[in-house]
Structure 1
Amino acid sequence: MSDALEQRLRQQAEGFAVHFADVDRFKQVNDAVLKAIAERLGSALE
């Protein structure tokens, strides 16, 4: 990842940011979000 960041910095004069979050119980949060998205998509397709 650091190699990719260094390459990006060399290619672009403007800055950028990387955000990293270590979330406890990420799988449960992710599953809940995906379920909500699936329900909305299902409603939109009816």
Structure 2
Amino acid sequence: MRKILLFLSLLCCCSEVIAKCDYSGSAGQAIFNISPKIATDPTIPVGTV
């Protein structure tokens, strides 16, 4: 029970950092929607996202 509660709480806390990727089906085009909180976070090293 504790593991499930811990997993759900981590899922809720980390859901903002999940990026959504949409592929339109045309040749080589993909749309990446990344949260602005990730892009402006100074603690994340450059090139890791």
Q: TM-score range by the shorter chain?
A: 0.3 to 0.5
Name whichever structure is richer in helix by fraction: 1
Which one scores higher on RCO, CA 8 angstroms, separation ≥ 6? Answer: 2
**Structure showing greater Rg:** 1
Name whichever structure is richer in strand by fraction: 2
